[in-house]
Each structure stands twice: as structure tokens, then as C-alpha cells.
């Protein structure tokens, strides 16, 4: 089974990592893809090619930093994973990447916003649930 684990570096995403480790413990053929989506820089296309490369490098490095602890947790649990850092809208990026990787389940944390706040602000987790055609597990 293939799992997409969306990580943003928050404590909620680390709880989602713990949950996933428990879920796949003892399963032989588990494949974990750690996903990190960086918000794109406004007017990115207006930058010179050199500056675009600098921004892309910065985003990759930030994504690696945000996922380090989760990847370390997976490694300690002897769960191999592949890291994917992309730029874009977080919710649609998570869903598209999970779909492109043919994942069976998306696991991600939620910051536990109340219903009214979530409706007004909209959360990445809520958007992922609505955009995804595959099961999504949200961990508080």
C-alpha cells in the first residue's frame, strides 16, 4: 500500500507521522511518500531565470527542513520514505502529487480549527478532503 504523508513541520504533522508509523507497523509492502508543498512566490514568473533558481533552491531547502523530523521518525521506525518538495497551492499540490504517485491514502495533520473558523478561513486539510478522490486521514 502507498501512503502520502503531508508534512508542514508543525506538531500536528508530527502526530500524523506517529499515527502513520503505528498504522503500517508490521506491514511488509508499505511505501511512504513524504510530501511538502511550499507556497509559491507571487510574481515568480516576473523574476529572472537566475532569481527563479534561487527561489526554487530556497523552497527545496525549506521543505527539507520542515520534513527532517518526520523523516527521522520514519527512519527510526525503519519505514523507508521518499521526500517530495514542490511549490504551489498546498491543498491541490498534495492531492495532485498523491494522485501522480498512485497513493492509496493521504495522511496529514490538522491544526484543530473550530468548525466556524475552518469555514471562514478554510484550511488546507478541509480543501484536501474536498479535492481528493482517495481516502484522507486527518490527525489532530
Domains in the chain (CATH in brackets) are 2-139 (3.40.50.620)
CA dist list (Å): 119 to 35, 54, 59: 25, 36, 29
pLDDT at 116: 54
Long-range contacts formed by 97-102: CB under 8 A, 24+ apart: 97/4, 97/33, 97/35, 97/37, 98/4, 98/33, 98/35, 98/132, 98/134, 99/133, 99/134, 101/2, 101/4, 101/33, 102/2
For 52-89, write each residue's pLDDT tens digit.
888 789 889 999 999 999 999 999 999 999 999 999 99
When the pLDDT of each residue in the chain is averaged and rounded to a whole number, the result is 89
In the chain, pLDDT over 70 holds for what percent of residues? Answer: 92
CA 109 to chain centre: 9
Given the DSSP bridges, would you call strands 31-38 and 81-87 parallel, antiparallel or unpaired?
parallel
Q: Which residues contact 106 (CB under 8 A, 6 or more apart)?
A: 3, 4, 6, 94, 95, 98, 128, 132, 134, 135, 136, 137
For 41-51, write each residue's pLDDT tens digit.
777 777 788 88
Predicted TM-score (pTM) of this structure: 0.89
Question: Average of pLDDT values for 30-41?
Answer: 92
The cell for 8 is 508542514
Higher local confidence (pLDDT), 68 or 112 = 68
Question: Average of pLDDT values for 17-40?
Answer: 92
> Cα(86)–Cα(79) distance, rounded to whole angstroms?
22
Q: How many helices (H) and strands (E) does the chain have?
A: 5, 5
pLDDT-based confidence at residue 121 (cuts at 50, 70, 90): very low
Amino acid at each position: 500500500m502507498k501512503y502520502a504523508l503531508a508534512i508542514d513541520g508543525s506538531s500536528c504533522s508530527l502526530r500524523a507521522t506517529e499515527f502513520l508509523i503505528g498504522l503500517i507497523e508490521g506491514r511488509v509492502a508499505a511505501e511512504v511518500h513524504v510530501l511538502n508543498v511550499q507556497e509559491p512566490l507571487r510574481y515568480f514568473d516576473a523574476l529572472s531565470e537566475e532569481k527563479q533558481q534561487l527561489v526554487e533552491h530556497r523552497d527545496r531547502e525549506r521543505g527539507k527542513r520542515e520534513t527532517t523530523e518526520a523523516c527521522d521518525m520514519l527512519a527510526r521506525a525503519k519505514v523507508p520514505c521518499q521526500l517530495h518538495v514542490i511549490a504551489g497551492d498546498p491543498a491541490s499540490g498534495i492531492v495532485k502529487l498523491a494522485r501522480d504517485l498512485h497513493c492509496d491514502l493521504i495522511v496529514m495533520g490538522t491544526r484543530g480549527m473550530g468548525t466556524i473558523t475552518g469555514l471562514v478561513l478554510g484550511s488546507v486539510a478541509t480543501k484536501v478532503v474536498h479535492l481528493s478522490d482517495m481516502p484522507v486521514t486527518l490527525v489532530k
